[in-house]
Amino acid sequence: MHRTKVRIVEDALDANNTIARANRDDFDRHGVTVVNFMSAPGAGKTTLLERTIASLDGVRAGVLEGDVEGSMDADRLSALHVPVTQLNTASGFGGECHLDANMVRSAIPELPLEEIDLLVIENVGNLVCPAEFRVGEDLRVMVSAVTEGEDKPLKYPLMFRACDLVVINKIDLLPHLDVSVERLEANVEAVHPGVPTMRVSARTGEGIDAWRDWLTKAATQVAAPA
Amino acid sequence: MHRTKVRIVEDALDANNTIARANRDDFDRHGVTVVNFMSAPGAGKTTLLERTIASLDGVRAGVLEGDVEGSMDADRLSALHVPVTQLNTASGFGGECHLDANMVRSAIPELPLEEIDLLVIENVGNLVCPAEFRVGEDLRVMVSAVTEGEDKPLKYPLMFRACDLVVINKIDLLPHLDVSVERLEANVEAVHPGVPTMRVSARTGEGIDAWRDWLTKAATQVAAPA
């Protein structure tokens, strides 16, 4: 009896996971695959979506755009005629440095879940806290720009460990940097053995087909409409 | 009477500012100028210190290195024979995404305050929370790498508003980016009118003399040994 009570209290205390499960149930009910998309500020998340989100083969995609303030990224993606919903952590959420399950829940009534197969949640640019909060996603993807240096997996291991895919962006700049993409990949492997990585340049388009294919497959393989 | 009591309670509740003032008193007593050095992950803070910290004219400098985990940056700076103290937020501070006054206070016994004129506190790489916590510093400097894009001041305005100087780094990469440094500077000015900026490349050394001069002047003009 005592043991059961303790377990219930612990579950209830972890409010974020409780709400994340409720979000997940809502997404599952509509057959929507959800990707939590994370990176440091300026790693290229929005550009990677601009390059792909409107041209996924047979997949209708939408975006939930998380920012502390402003709607610049949402405006960029709306121009592609993709449904985009803006979520600002500065309005009502104290300027938080990450999205949590409750923030995402507050946006669910605004999401066109009936009309999409894939929802990409673009998190606040931050390599620490976003990795600590499940929001109800199926998959987690992070972007690591080579311009940030090859040591980032070792300095922010939780983020790299939390992901199902690491997209290594800005490889067009490698000739101009003192950075080895091989050492970056070795550091990713050291903190998260076996996690898939892909090298891309959102600017030149190199590797973008593989990223588009990954998003398409994620939407069609994970989703199981009720 | 009532009014006085309320004020005292409010002051006491803001524990971070109370501790930051205590830190500041300790630094002042030793005539040490303190710079809180902030940026997104991988913007080049450590390289900017490597380029300058051991060659400040007449200024003895030390570094307090803040990271979630690891001591890679501290090891790089120790190689320059500068006193470096490591502060990890993962050990005892829950993996926080920023330094606060209490974390810095915990490191003060380890700092060689008698032997230095300038302490640079290299904060955790993050554009949100570090700006919210005073740690007892005299001055706040942030680094914005041009590779992060020109929109960062508009998306993370609190960080840009909190600073006494914005160092714009990685300008050697401008020929290879779709980024205008003039628009970046205009966005800095829009959110923090009048804040000084300087363009540098920690990689090529361009603009580094101005950054070294700024650190030297900060240490000699602010410090007022007791």
Give the nearest chain B residue to A43 (CA atoms): B148
Q: So what's the pLDDT on residue B223?
A: 52
ipTM (interface pTM): 0.89
Using the predicted structure, report yes or no on whether residue A183 has a pLDDT greater than 50: yes
Using the predicted structure, report yes or no on whether residue A37 has a pLDDT greater than 80: yes
Six token digits for residue A88: 């600002």
Q: In what order do the strands lie in the sheet with B33-39?
A: B84-88, B61-67, B118-122, B33-39, B139-145, B165-169, B197-199
User: In angstroms, rounded to a whole number, what is the distance separating the alpha carbons of residues B98 and B83?
Assistant: 22
**With an 8 Å Cβ cutoff, are B72 and A129 in contact?**
no
Q: So what's the pLDDT on residue A11?
A: 52
Asked if A206 contacts A180 with a C-beta cutoff of 8 angstroms, the reply is no
Three-class DSSP category at B21: helix
Average pLDDT estimate for B67-85 = 94
**With an 8 Å Cβ cutoff, are B95 and A69 in contact?**
no
**With an 8 Å Cβ cutoff, are A173 and B147 in contact?**
yes
Report the percentage of chain B scoring pLDDT > 90.
Answer: 88
Burial zone of B225 (CB within 10 Å; 0-12 exposed, 13-18 middle, 19+ buried): exposed
Write out chain A residues lying below 8 Å of B41, CB-based. Answer: 40, 127, 148, 152, 155-156
User: In angstroms, rounded to a whole number, what is the distance separating the alpha carbons of residues A84 and B44?
Assistant: 33
Of residues A122, A132, A117, the one with CA closest to residue A89: A122
* C-alpha distances out from residue B200 to A2, B203, B204, Å: 63, 9, 9
Q: A196 in contact with B at a CB cutoff of 8 Å?
A: no
Q: Which candidate from B70, B145, B158 shows the least CB-CB separation from A95?
A: B158
Amino acid at A207: G
Using the predicted structure, report yes or no on whether residue B2 has a pLDDT greater than 60: no
**With an 8 Å Cβ cutoff, are B69 and A157 in contact?**
yes
Question: Residue B13: how many CB atoms within 10 A of its CB?
Answer: 10
Of residues A187, A84, A175, A101, the one with CA closest to residue A144: A187
Q: What pLDDT digit, counting tens, does each position of A127-143 carry?
A: 999 999 999 999 999 99
User: In angstroms, rounded to a whole number, what is the distance separating the alpha carbons of residues B15 and A58?
Assistant: 54
Give the nearest chain A residue to B67 (CA atoms): A155
Average pLDDT estimate for B102-115 = 96
Alpha-carbon radius of gyration of chain A? 18
Of residues B49, B38, B42, B48, the one with CA closest to residue B147: B42
Using the predicted structure, report yes or no on whether residue A224 has a pLDDT greater than 70: no
Question: Residue B187: how many CB atoms within 10 A of its CB?
Answer: 21
Q: So what's the pLDDT on residue B94?
A: 78
Q: Alpha-carbon dihedral of residues B99, B105, B107, B111, nearest 10 degrees?
A: 120
**With an 8 Å Cβ cutoff, are B127 and A41 in contact?**
yes
Q: A205 in contact with B at a CB cutoff of 8 Å?
A: no
**With an 8 Å Cβ cutoff, are B127 and A129 in contact?**
no
Write out chain B residues lying below 8 Å of A72, CB-based. Answer: 151, 154-155
pTM: 0.91
Three-class DSSP category at A88: strand
* Backbone angles phi and psi of A116, in degrees to 5: -130, 160
Q: A172 in contact with B at a CB cutoff of 8 Å?
A: yes
Q: So what's the pLDDT on residue B224?
A: 47
CA dihedral for A56, A59, A62, A64, sign (positive or negative): negative
Q: What pLDDT digit, counting tens, does each position of B127-185 carry?
A: 999 999 999 999 999 999 999 999 999 999 999 999 999 999 999 999 999 999 999 99
